Amino acid sequence: MAGAWFLHYLARTEAPLVPSATGKKAPSTPVETVRTAAEELLDPDSPDFGAAFDRYGAARVVLLGETSHGTSDFYRARAAITRRLI
């Protein structure tokens, strides 16, 4: 059931890719892509922390990655993000 949902909403389209209108060169490696898009987060206890996620409020799916292997800081941040998005 979950697999069907992902296939329906997240399947790749066959539409051709169109170059950026900004004229910026696309990142050439996955690492460059992440470096270009990464943003530093405020402390989860900061009043402005949740505002960083307002742009995702209308999204159907938001994926929260986990690279900390269970630190309390990550879980506090993820809980704050989830509260803001819900």
| pTM, entire model | 0.49
Q: What is the pLDDT of residue 10?
A: 67
What lies within 8 Å, CB to CB, of 34 at 6+ separation is none
pLDDT of amino acid 69: 72
- Main-chain dihedrals φ then ψ at residue 66, nearest 5 degrees: -145, 110
> Could you tell me the maximum CA-CA distance found in the chain, to the nearest angstrom?
43
Interval 7-58: pLDDT, tens: 776 666 676 666 666 667 776 788 888 888 887 888 888 888 878 888 888 8
The CA distance from 39 to 22, in Å, is 20
Domain edges within the chain: 33-86
Provide CB contacts within 8 A for 63, sequence distance 6+: none
